[in-house]
């Protein structure tokens, strides 16, 4: 039980001290893109229109944006690399 509490505390600390990232999920092609890191939520949000414009100019469809604190393992994950529940 002590190890479980330590593990949970460690994960919470990592989230709290991690930077903000813009996670952009697209339907076609089915990809997840991470843009960042940003120091604040507002800084990340302000950068998103440029990323969305770039993706739209490439013909990407179904764009969803989530700003969150994380530490992505990869900056781009596309269909063949994705498994259900990976984002």
* 13-72 per-position pLDDT tens digit: 555 568 999 999 999 999 999 999 999 999 999 999 999 999 999 999 999 999 999 999
What's the structural domain count of the chain?
1
pTM: 0.72
Q: Is residue 49 part of a domain?
A: yes
Rounded Cα–Cα distance for residues 15 and 26 (Å): 24
pLDDT at 16: 59
Q: Is residue 2 part of a domain?
A: no
pLDDT at 75: 96
Provide φ and ψ at 36, rounded to 5°.
Answer: 155, -165
Sequence-distant (6+) residues with CB within 8 A of 23 are 32, 33, 34, 65, 66, 67, 68, 70, 72, 87
Range of the domain at 24: 19-81
Strand, helix or coil at 73? coil
Q: Is residue 63 part of a domain?
A: yes
């Amino acid at each position: 039980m002590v190890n479980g509490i330590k593990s949970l505390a460690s994960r919470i600390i990592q989230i709290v001290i991690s930077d903000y990232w813009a996670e952009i999920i697209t339907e076609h092609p089915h990809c997840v893109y991470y843009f960042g890191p940003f120091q604040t939520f507002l800084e990340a949000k302000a950068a998103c229109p440029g990323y969305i414009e770039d993706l739209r100019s490439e013909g990407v469809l179904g764009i969803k944006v989530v700003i969150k604190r994380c530490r992505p393992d990869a900056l781009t994950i596309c269909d063949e690399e994705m498994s259900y529940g990976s984002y």
